[in-house]
Structures are given as structure tokens and as C-alpha cells.
């Protein structure tokens, strides 16, 4: 089965220290309280892709945070990887100080793809990265719905390594065929 890595924050959910919307869910991890919102269609999306891929949700957040947020999804069979599985980028002071080396999951990069809102996560494997729009609470967002069409098609391809930059346009073409 092909493998799919999903980013959590600002890709599938948005978390903050204050409840910024009535749809926020109050959660707790490592002694702190925080509030999380699910991106529109997030649960349906994860259920859909977990039938077609071996899914790892890989977050740069702490494992306790990731597990707490995942309780809102309640989708079985998904692997949860927190910050301890990330590689620290030495000397990085301005941007994201972590990366997610896909070879920790498989050596065969034709059979894995990563979905993330931070392009730095796949600078070392650009043909494996699908960039998603950062989500911070827009209730009309349809990104995951479009992505499910693209991923359905991608799961049927012999190799998933390709230039994914035009994925939205390709998803649109796939639906109008």
C-alpha cells in the first residue's frame, strides 16, 4: 500500500490558546489547555485517504499535543508521529527548525507523498511534496475536498513522484473528465 504523510497544524487543524470560534474544541496536553478547530471536511478526508493509503500524521508538535488533537478525529489505523521523529535543522533561527525525512518511513520514495503547508518540509524531496494552503479558520475552505480527488488519482499511479505544483488544476481536470 502506498504511504501518505499528513501534516497537522494549519493543514488539518488550527490550534490556539484562546477559543476564537464557537467550533473550537477545548483540549489538554502536558498540563496546558488549548483550543482546536478542524478544517472543513478534515475528518471525512482522513477517513477517505486512510482507506487508500498507509497514513502517518506527522507533526512538529509534541507527541502529547498530537495525540490530544487526534482524539477529535477518532480514525483508526493511523500512525501518529510527533516532534521526536523530526530532524532538527542545526543553525536554523528564522524559519521552521524541523524537517520530516521521508526515508524514516520508506526508502522507496516513489511510493510516498507528503502533504504540508510548509514548503521547507520537502525541500530535500520536492517531487514528493504536495503544498496545501495554510488554514487558520476559514469556514468556506474546500482544499481537502479538492485534495481527495487528486490523491485518489495519485494512488493509482505506479510512481507518486512528480511535480505536484499544479495539483489544484489537475484535480479540477480529473473531475471534469
Interaction site with Mg ion (CB under 5 A): 7, 9-11, 117
Report how many helices (DSSP H) and strands (DSSP E) the chain contains, helices first: 4, 10
In this complex, which beta carbon is closest to Mg ion, that of residue 56 or of residue 117? 117
Least Å distance between CB 95 and Mg ion?
12
Helix, strand, or coil here: 144? helix
Ramachandran quadrant class, 54 (left: phi over 0; alpha: psi -120 to 50; beta: rest) = beta
Least Å distance between CB 46 and Mg ion?
15
In this complex, which beta carbon is closest to Mg ion, that of residue 14 or of residue 150? 14
Nine cell digits for residue 74: 477518532
In this complex, which beta carbon is closest to Mg ion, that of residue 1 or of residue 43? 43
CA–CA dist 166, 64 (Å, integer): 35
Cα torsion through 33, 39, 42, 45, rounded to 10: -150
Least Å distance between CB 10 and Mg ion?
4
In this complex, which beta carbon is closest to Mg ion, that of residue 9 or of residue 54? 9
Cβ-contact 78, 46 below 8 angstroms: yes
Judge residue 32's burial from the number of C-beta atoms within 10 Å of its C-beta, 0-12 exposed, 13-18 middle, 19 or more buried. exposed
In this complex, which beta carbon is closest to Mg ion, that of residue 64 or of residue 110? 64
Least Å distance between CB 24 and Mg ion?
18
Least Å distance between CB 175 and Mg ion?
26
Amino acid at each position: 500500500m502506498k504511504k501518505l504523510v499528513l501534516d497537522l497544524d494549519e493543514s488539518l487543524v488550527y490550534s490556539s490558546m484562546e477559543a476564537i470560534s464557537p467550533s473550537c474544541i477545548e483540549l489538554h496536553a502536558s498540563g496546558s489547555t488549548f483550543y482546536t478547530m478542524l478544517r472543513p471536511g478534515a475528518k471525512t478526508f482522513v477517513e477517505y485517504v486512510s482507506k487508500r493509503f498507509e497514513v502517518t500524521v506527522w507533526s512538529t508538535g509534541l507527541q502529547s499535543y498530537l495525540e490530544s488533537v487526534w482524539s477529535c478525529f477518532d480514525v483508526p489505523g493511523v500512525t501518529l508521529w510527533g516532534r521526536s521523529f523530526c530532524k532538527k535543522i542545526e543553525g536554523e533561527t528564522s524559519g521552521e527548525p524541523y524537517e520530516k525525512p521521508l526515508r524514516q518511513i520508506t526508502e522507496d520514495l516513489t511510493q510516498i507523498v507528503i502533504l504540508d503547508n510548509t514548503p521547507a518540509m520537502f525541500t530535500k524531496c520536492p517531487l514528493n511534496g504536495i503544498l496545501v494552503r495554510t488554514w487558520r479558520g476559514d469556514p468556506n475552505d474546500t482544499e481537502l475536498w479538492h485534495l481527495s480527488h487528486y490523491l485518489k488519482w495519485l494512488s493509482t499511479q505506479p510512481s507518486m513522484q512528480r511535480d505536484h505544483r499544479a495539483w489544484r488544476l489537475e484535480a479540477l481536470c480529473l473531475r471534469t473528465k
